[in-house]
Amino acid sequence: MKRELEHVEIPDEHDARERAWQLVSAAFAERVPAPPSRPRRLVPVVALAVAGAIVAAAASSPGRAVFHAIRSTVGVEKAQPALFSLPTSGRLLVASGGGVWVVQDDGSKRRLGSYASASWSPHGRYVVATRRNALYALTPTGEERWSLARPAVLFPRWAGTKTDTRIAYLTTSRLHVVGGDGRGDLDAGGLPAGARIAPAWRPGKGFVLAYANTHGRVYAYDTVHGADFWSRPPRSAPYRQPRLLEWSSDGKRLMLVTADKLVLFGPRSARPLAVRAERVVDAAFRPGTHHIALIRRPGEVSQVTLGARVIFSTAGELRGLTWSPDGRWLLIGLPEADQWVFVRADGRKITAVSNVSSQFRSQPFPRVEGWAP
């Protein structure tokens, strides 16, 4: 009986092996080889490990088993089982299915409450958080300072000095600005409806807010004087499906990421300085510079690049880029492996933490909302 079963042909077995070999070949071709002269360090599981899992699964149910095998091998080897400490100073703000949390640099965590999203105030003195129909100002220990009832609150962002601050947020598609003390809430009804992405405060003096409308036009608005900040032309060209707006830390560059473009603006004009046609998963300015970290996914491999350098690569899908305040480390999410990956900016050191979701009592993969001093 055993010999007879060994000669039974499994349906679609040959085609499954062919598809598996194509996946393995593509992944191996796109790997980033480690320099042979450097000492061994933590690296992502490379294509050869994926290859073994795929080939082993190829004889089973085609397609489904192959992709299950890929998911089971994604991740960084020798990852820590828990977040024992951050690789540099600062505090993380994390939103999860279990609420909003603050993580200290020694790894200790405090749950602020059952909020949906959050953002740091300037200098990390306070936290602005949301529930479905309300906005809250909290201390980093979770003490509520004030709240404001508004419908469908989204994307709170806090800016200003230690003595004068503003919070921008959206209610469905309406842009609002309120004082840091919860007073003077302004519905910017004269402005076009905002797209469902976070507005971005320009660092420096004044309260200039960049936002994209539902048609993909980008505006820079002086919220104090109620006027356009960009002098010429008065509005940008439309860009399809805006996804991210972010100013550089000196306020001299504004980055827009869309479904198929990366656009850079200067501080005084909606005429772009550069438009690059490419698909970017996420992007973030390195603090103190105009250098941009990007997540790309060419083929079956995800890459994090800084300038022309690839500083991290993996077979899994990456999500989120968060710079440490000193600009030395990047925190990247790897949901398929339930890991956070910390990558030094020069790419020479990588540390990872596993079991991230359970540490924040979350079924969805936790989202890092900011890294404050």
Q: What does the pLDDT look like over 2-31, one tens digit per residue?
A: 344 344 444 444 444 444 444 444 444 444
Least confident of 69-78, 90-99, 177-186, 306-315: 69-78
What tokens appear for 313 in the block?
A: 């690569």
Q: Where are the domains of the chain?
A: 2-31+38-73, 91-372
pLDDT of residue 234: 58
The matching CATH number, chosen from 3.40.30.10, 2.130.10.10, 3.90.226.10, 2.70.150.10, for 91-372 is: 2.130.10.10
The yes-or-no verdict on residue 250 having pLDDT over 80 is: yes
pLDDT higher than 80, residue 37: no
pLDDT of residue 65: 36
pTM of the model: 0.79
Specify whether the CB–CB gap between 113 and 350 falls below 8 A.
no
Please report which confidence band the pLDDT of residue 73 belongs to, taking 50, 70 and 90 as the band edges: low
Average pLDDT score over residue span 218-229: 86
Burial of 319 by CB count in 10 Å (0-12 exposed, 13-18 middle, 19+ buried)?
A: middle
pLDDT surpassing 80 at residue 233: no
Q: Could you tell me the two tokens for 319?
A: 């999500």
Strand-strand pairing, 309-314 and 292-296: unpaired
pLDDT category of residue 68 using cuts at 50, 70 and 90: very low
How large is the average pLDDT for residues 88-104?
Answer: 97
The pLDDT tens digits of the residues spanning 137-180 come to 999 999 999 999 999 999 999 999 888 999 999 998 789 999 99
pLDDT at 247 over 70: yes
> Is the predicted pLDDT of residue 191 greater than 80, yes or no?
no
Structure confidence at residue 192 (pLDDT): 67
What confidence score (pLDDT) does residue 28 get?
Answer: 42
299-342 pLDDT, tens per residue?
889 999 999 999 999 999 999 999 999 999 999 999 999 999 99
Which position has the token pair 């601050």? 165
